[in-house]
Amino acid sequence: MAQNFDVLGIGNAIVDILIQVDDEFLKSKKLIKGSMQLVSEGDAATLYAELGKCIECSGGSAANTVAGLASMGARTSYIGKIHDDQLGKVFKHDINTIGTSFNTPPSFSGPGTAHCIVLVTPDAERTMCTYLGACVNLTETDIDESIVRSSKFSYLEGYLWDPEPAKAAFRKTIHIAHDEGNKVALSLSDPFCVNRHHGEFLKLVKDDIDILFANEDEIKMLYSTDNLQDAAQRAQHDCDIVAITCGARGCIVVNKDEISNIQGINVSNLIDTTGAGDLYAAGFLYGLSIDKPIGECGALGNLVASKIITHLGARPDINLKEFVEKAAY
């Protein structure tokens, strides 16, 4: 089938609610800095009521990635479940406006559109409390086979492994993509997500994933080791391509032939790391979509991530295509 899309993203369609807090606030709520935890609608409402002025913007890991890709000029599509409510309308408007095709039918009953309270501390680390809402209603019937078949890469976020119906959608996507000869990429999403589904994730990575994205905590959790190099070497045997983000140090890129360290980019005005991993994946996948070597893909991922962390929120605030071209990529 003709490849109408470079990347299809499938994930939790979420509206982010961002606010800057101090470490004491996290301690008072018994929240682990840098983590993502699932909360009930009531808990989310209680926490929201305690916060001051917030910034609301569309988010969701895979949605952030395809938004970044679209801003670089890639042809993108997205599948995720929203409710037919105000937050759902905001999400759809935002992702369509940036140039991504999004036509998943909304829910008309049940829980509202998902939202994530993102607590940003002075060190720019983000701690997330997520109410999944309508996301749990994503099922395999929402997976449009023609879109999967016409996408060069299908990019899945690990958070989808939490609700059982979404897990079935995940597996359907993998089957269709591989049947068409297309590639499947996975983001491990969060160390606690990896821990929750450790055995299943390890089997999934070994059997079904072509391109793996992780940060150093996630990859070490996956392979049950404290040694990053050991984790990278083990991942090398499981996937064709592995990209491991290492914060300010840059990233490690892995294929069957080599393991390479790509130096990070110094950022003096660090504001919010919320979208760093998502936009790193956008830069990396964009590089793959235009047939760049993986070392250049890693450098491009670093570049795009270095830009997103200079403002609040995980969506580009500039035209990334122009930004990348100015940087001579």
pLDDT at residue number 171: 96
Distances (CA, A) of 153 to 149, 181, 210, 252, 311: 9, 10, 10, 21, 28
Mean pLDDT of 50-57: 86
- 78 strand-pairing partners: 9, 102
pLDDT at residue number 313: 74
Q: Does position 227 have pLDDT exceeding 80, yes or no? A: yes
271 alpha carbon, distance to own chain's centre: 19
Mean of all residue pLDDT scores within the chain? 94
pLDDT digits (tens, 9 = 90+) for 71-113: 999 999 999 999 999 999 999 999 999 999 999 999 999 999 9
Report the sign of the C-alpha dihedral through residues 73, 76, 80, 85, in that order: positive
* Percent of the chain residues topping a pLDDT of 70: 100
Mean pLDDT of 159-163: 86
pLDDT at residue number 59: 87
Q: Does position 266 have pLDDT exceeding 80, yes or no? A: yes
Write the single-letter amino acid at 25. F
The domains located in the chain, with CATH, are 5-11+61-111+136-326 (3.40.1190.20)
pTM to 2 decimal places:
0.91
Question: Which segments of the chain are extended strands (E)?
Answer: 5-10, 14-20, 36-38, 55-59, 76-79, 100-102, 114-120, 126-131, 151-157, 183-187, 211-215, 241-245, 250-255, 259-263
pLDDT band at 57 (very low <50, low <70, confident <90, very high): confident
pLDDT at residue number 258: 95
* 269: nearest Cα among 303, 311, 299: 311
pLDDT at residue number 271: 84
pLDDT at residue number 186: 98
- Which tops the pLDDT comparison, 316 or 255? 255
Mean pLDDT of 239-249: 97
pLDDT digits (tens, 9 = 90+) for 279-324: 999 999 999 999 999 999 999 999 999 999 888 777 888 889 999 9
pLDDT at residue number 254: 98
**203-217, 240-254, 308-322: which range is least confident on average?**
308-322
Q: For the chain, how many residues are written?
A: 329
pLDDT band at 36 (very low <50, low <70, confident <90, very high): confident
pLDDT at residue number 29: 94
Q: Is residue 11 within 8 Å of residue 62, measured between CB atoms?
A: yes
Structure tokens at 299: 């450098």
